[in-house]
Amino acid sequence: MIEAYDLALVAMKDALVQMEREIPTPRFVKSAAGYRGYRFTERLPQQAIFLKTVRIFSAIQSLQLTLDAGLLLDAGALMCILDEVGSDVQFLTAPLVFRLEWEVLHTRFLADFFEEEFDHPEILKSSQKRDRVSRKHIRAYIARVHGHGDTSSHIDVLKLIDNAFSGYIHGAAVHIMDAYNSEGFEIPASSHHQPLLDIRDQFATYLHRALMDCALAAKALGCEATFSRLFQFITSTFTDEGSLR
């Protein structure tokens, strides 16, 4: 697993370098609220896809570190983040990869994604209201475009995955109880703590999915050689179900 993880990081980092070359570079700007920083001023779909892939690259490394540290509650939260950001990549790349029409949902998603947090120098006077695309609509789109066969069942599976780990982020009681070891709450958990072992067993699947999302992003940005290298690495390293070969 360690060797596969190290190779996966190298492959993803190389993919990010290649993708970054395909998009306009960030500019140093001043926002309406007076903040100065780098931004993608064009707000292109390709830039959003790239940024989402950067987030995946960070989260998969954070997941490995929190698992090694025994912080299973935080590892569960990172899995939820990877699920959500991965679905964002699948949602945004579909029109580019499959040559589909750009839908109103995509326009709304990008507007929300690139919106600044504040639009007034006095932040309490900020007036913006986000128009977020719901997870329900994103799941439905992914099931319709990426799914095969029973779309309803595909939606149910995606919803189940989202719900299974969201409690780690929101602090649901049943998820926090995973830190209990029959005698007390053990944070960080010992290496033999069963809930930690259960989450650790899923790491290969999450690494596989992170690579798949990265490959999708590369293809959407026109990096065909990078996509081919990633796909070859994925198929030679993982089974179709996401386990290590």
Distance from chain centroid for Cα 86:
4
245 in any annotated domain:
no
Tokens of 4: 């596969």
Residue 116 lies in a domain: yes
Residue 243 lies in a domain: no
Give domain status of residue 96, yes or no.
Answer: yes
Residues of the domain holding 228? 2-237
Asked whether 94 and 139 are in contact (CB, 8 A), the reply is no
Q: What pLDDT digit, counting tens, does each position of 123-164 carry?
A: 777 777 788 999 999 999 998 898 766 677 767 777 777 778
Residue 244 lies in a domain: no
Angle (CA) 138 143 149, round 5° = 170
- Looking at residue 123, its pLDDT comes to 77
What pLDDT was estimated at residue 131? 86
Which parts of 47-175 are beta strand (E)? none
Give the separation between CA 177 and CA 192, rounded to whole angstroms.
Answer: 16
pLDDT at 48: 98
First and final CA of the chain: distance in angstroms? 10
User: Which pLDDT does position 148 carry in this prediction?
Assistant: 63
Residues of the chain whose pLDDT is less than 70?
148-150, 154
Which pLDDT score, from 0 to 100, does residue 240 have?
85
Q: Which of 219, 223, 31 is nearest to 114 (CA)?
A: 31
CB 185 within 8 A of CB 70: no
Tally of domains in the chain: 1
In a domain, 114, yes or no: yes
What secondary structure letter does DSSP report for 121? S
Is 242 within a domain? no
Supply the pLDDT for residue 150: 67
What pLDDT, on the 0 to 100 scale, is given for residue 34? 82
